[in-house]
Amino acid sequence: MTLNTGSNMEYTAPIAGYAILALTLLAVYRGIRSGWLTPNHSIGVRTKNTLKSQRAWRVAHEVMAPYLSAGTIVSVLFAAVLGVLILTAQPTGVLDIVAVAGFLIVIGIIIVGGISADRSAKQSES
């Protein structure tokens, strides 16, 4: 593990990635909550079950909304933590772990949310 000596430009990309991810998840969340995100083949939880009907789409996205919110919060927190670690000159190994861990956590949240949303859509049609 090498000590971070101040050249932290390589960690700009993960921080920017967290920011873009947070803004994207927030936009989809707000689209769900405001009602402008309607059934489509581009944005949202797009599975066979969620695209069956308006009701299935709505139910699935109501279930997905808290997961999007959680993903947004985790993205912002990991960007902040990574920034603090850079400013406190932590070893690059620590920075690498934090940079990757946050993305893996958010991906996990979105996968679990998508599975839950799909199951809810399927149940709404039965």
Residue 88: the pLDDT is 86
> pTM of the entire structure?
0.87
Question: In 34-66, which positions are buried (b, 16+ CB within 10 angstroms) versus exposed (e)?
Answer: eeebebeeeebbebebbbbeeebbbbbbebbbe
Structure tokens at 105: 């956590």
**In terms of Cα–Cα distance, which of 57, 32, 73, 42 is closest to 118?**
57
Residue 126: the pLDDT is 78
Instruction: Give the C-alpha distances (Å, rounded to integers) separating 60 from 10, 73, 110.
Output: 38, 21, 13
Distance from C-alpha of 19 to C-alpha of 66, rounded to nearest angstrom: 19
- Tens of pLDDT, residues 52-104: 999 999 999 999 999 999 999 999 999 999 999 888 888 889 999 999 999 99
Helical segments of 8-124, H only: 12-34, 54-87, 92-124
Q: Above 60 in pLDDT, residue 10?
A: yes
Residue 7: the pLDDT is 59
Residue 6: the pLDDT is 53
The larger pLDDT score, comparing residue 89 to residue 121, is at 121
Please compute the mean of the pLDDT values over residues 94-123 and round it to a whole number: 95
Where does the pLDDT of residue 34 fall: very low under 50, low under 70, confident under 90, or very high at 90 and above?
Answer: very high
Residue 104: the pLDDT is 97
**In terms of Cα–Cα distance, which of 74, 64, 91 is closest to 3?**
91
Residue 8: the pLDDT is 63
